[in-house]
Structure 1
Amino acid sequence: MNRQSWYPPPSRPRPVEGGLQARSRRGAIGATWWSERFVSVLESIGLGSRLQRGRNYARRGQVISLDVDAGAVTAQVQGSRARPYRVRIGLAAYGKTQWTKLEQALAGDAWFAAQLLAGEMPEQIEELFAAQELPLFPATASELSMDCTCPDWQVPCKHLAAVFYLLAEAFDDNPFAILAWRGRDRDTLLDNLAAVRSAGPPPADRQRTGKPLDDCLEHYYDLAVPLPATGLPAISSVGLLDQLPSVAIMVRDNDLVKLMRAAYAAFGESDITG
């Protein structure tokens, strides 16, 4: 008897209406450097041959849903059974302290900050993460936790592989999903980068030190320097007449201002002060 007769025929997945389909119909999946990097990392750690089995699932639209959250990608994949399988791909999300360190490094480079604030993913961002000893992509299979409710004992199964490929295309559409998987959503990241860059270095006078307040209370209200003596400037009487508006008053056919000017001159041109 042929040994292959012991095995059941390969099962066919149930068709799905409105499933998530990979845009790539042939060849590699992933159009941007970050999605290609994601797939290449997975293939380089020994998942490539198994990922290929899910490529057909991804292109047929067997994945019903796909969600990216901090530390976990969850999905539903329709297989040969009536109930879709639940898939989860876990990756360690960085905490608040780690992201503060990353955000300061990103904000410290004007080029990185400008590209991220413009909604673009800098090509050297992977190196920046590595310099902080916080890798952006998983480097080994042990960094990923992969679960599927299907009966297949192999990990990753074709359902997990299908999610990997659609995840790569999701990264094409939204590169910030990679960062969200690591624990920082787009809006929070951009807000924090803008805040770090606007804060700038602390003012120099914040570093100054002086005497304690208790040692200064006795003379707290004393003047540091004497106030200068001030007074109104001396004004010439003739100058006062020059500042008068036009006065249409006549005294015995004589202009009033002319009479006053003659009177001031008779007083000896004395200066007055107010």
Structure 2
Amino acid sequence: MADSTTGDATNDGSTPDNVTYVNFGTRKRVTTQDEVLKVDRVNHSGSSMSPAATRLVSFMSKEVDAGRLARGRDYAHAGNVVGLDVRNGAIHGRVAGSQNEPFAVLIQLPYRSNDDVGQVSEIMARTPNAIRDARDGLLPVRVLDILLGEDPDDVRFSCSCPDHAPFCKHIVAVVDRLAARMDADPSVVFAMRGLSFATLEQSMMAQAQEASRDAYSPNSGLDSAERNQLFWNGRGLPDIPEPKIAPALEDSDMDLLRKALRSVTHTNLELLRAVSDIEELYDFLVQR
């Protein structure tokens, strides 16, 4: 219930000038629908998955039979995946099955040296909008090759259950949940190699300077005409950022405004009238 604060109020809650001043408390920023991550939005037809999630699912689906695929997805959607731990080079999953103890699933990524992982920042430093696209789950093909693997044989899947098939229903369930997490949070793909967006951006800044020097080097692989064109025209620039538009008054802390106005007002009525005037002025300026 809202608290009504008035000065010289009448019995019906209104002031003598027929204006009711109501304090609904501190305004809070409302998260928009676009900012909400939906973990379960993976569409296994591949149309709505990120490239990384699509590649992971394709590595499995080429080898698994239809029965285990259906049962594994049922397991995933029923919540049988009780553990999913993403580590550097491997993913450990735990799936509750027919026995008392959950079965252990291991997804082992191909070995990558420090130089191999370093190529990720080098490639992205030479790609316009690389970080922005990466946060949306869009990665260059070569980066996906390094982070995940180039073909199904690069990734090893195993499970502690007695099913000797290459892909049991427990592996399918873990892959399903891992793909959903990757699709919802693109940073998971980099966490598989011990990377984060913060460390990646720092490395990219250093790589960008080196890439700029290499572009004009005689050993760059470019002929003189290409180097001249690059010198005068430069590389492609990233898109101009599009800042979010937020209504200033709605996102402001009205308590701070009232605190500031107390130094120039003498009564609560004057204070509330001043706040009301500011709100009307704001509405007029933004033409609402």
**What do residues 206-256 of structure 1 show as CA deviations (whole Å, max 9, x unaligned)?**
xxxxxxxxxxxxxxxxxxxxxxxxxxxxxxxxxxxxxxxxxxxxxxxxxxx
| 2:95–2:170 CA contact under 8 A, matched in 1 | yes
Asked whether 1:155 is paired with 2:172, we answer no
- The residue number in structure 2 matching 1:70 is 88
| 2:56–2:175 CA contact under 8 A, matched in 1 | no
One-letter code aligned to 1:129: V
2:180 counterpart SS class: helix
Residue among 184, 196, 199 paired with 1:173: 184
CA 1:71 to 1:136, structure 2 compared with 1: closer, same or farther past 3 Å?
A: closer
**What do residues 131-167 of structure 1 show as CA deviations (whole Å, max 9, x unaligned)?**
xxx4444444422222222122222111111001111
- The residue number in structure 1 matching 2:60 is 42
**What do residues 150-188 of structure 1 show as CA deviations (whole Å, max 9, x unaligned)?**
122222111111001111101111112123224433332
Deviation at 1:198? 5.8
- The residue number in structure 1 matching 2:104 is 86
Deviation at 1:47? 2.8
Segments of structure 2 that go 5 or more residues without pairing to the other structure are: 1-38, 215-288
Asked whether 1:59 is paired with 2:77, we answer yes
CA 1:30 to 1:78, structure 2 compared with 1: closer, same or farther past 3 Å?
A: farther
Deviation at 1:46? 2.0
How far apart, in 1, do the equivalents of 2:208 and 2:59 lie? Answer: 33
| 1:85–1:149 CA contact under 8 A, matched in 2 | yes
- The residue number in structure 2 matching 1:184 is 195
- The residue number in structure 2 matching 1:99 is 117
One-letter code aligned to 2:82: I
Asked whether 1:120 is paired with 2:140, we answer no
Identical amino acids, percent of aligned pairs = 26
Asked whether 1:31 is paired with 2:45, we answer no
| 2:42–2:183 CA contact under 8 A, matched in 1 | no
How far apart, in 2, do the equivalents of 1:38 and 1:102 lie? Answer: 18
| 1:42–1:48 CA contact under 8 A, matched in 2 | no
Asked whether 1:196 is paired with 2:207, we answer yes
How far apart, in 2, do the equivalents of 1:26 and 1:101 lie? Answer: 31
2:74 counterpart SS class: helix
One-letter code aligned to 1:170: R
| 1:95–1:183 CA contact under 8 A, matched in 2 | no
| 1:71–1:181 CA contact under 8 A, matched in 2 | yes
Select the structure of larger CA radius of gyration: 1
Residue among 130, 143, 154 paired with 1:129: 143
* TM-score when normalising by structure 2: 0.52
| 2:109–2:156 CA contact under 8 A, matched in 1 | yes
Segments of structure 1 that go 5 or more residues without pairing to the other structure are: 1-21, 204-274
How far apart, in 1, do the equivalents of 2:149 and 2:207 lie? Answer: 28
How far apart, in 2, do the equivalents of 1:93 and 1:71 lie? Answer: 7
How far apart, in 2, do the equivalents of 1:122 and 1:26 lie? Answer: 17
CA 1:96 to 1:135, structure 2 compared with 1: closer, same or farther past 3 Å?
A: closer
CA 1:69 to 1:185, structure 2 compared with 1: closer, same or farther past 3 Å?
A: farther
Deviation at 1:196? 2.7
2:104 counterpart SS class: strand
CA 1:94 to 1:171, structure 2 compared with 1: closer, same or farther past 3 Å?
A: same
One-letter code aligned to 1:71: G
The structure with higher relative contact order (CA 8 Å, sep 6+) is 2
2:158 counterpart SS class: strand
CA 1:48 to 1:141, structure 2 compared with 1: closer, same or farther past 3 Å?
A: farther
| 2:42–2:48 CA contact under 8 A, matched in 1 | no
Deviation at 1:48? 5.6
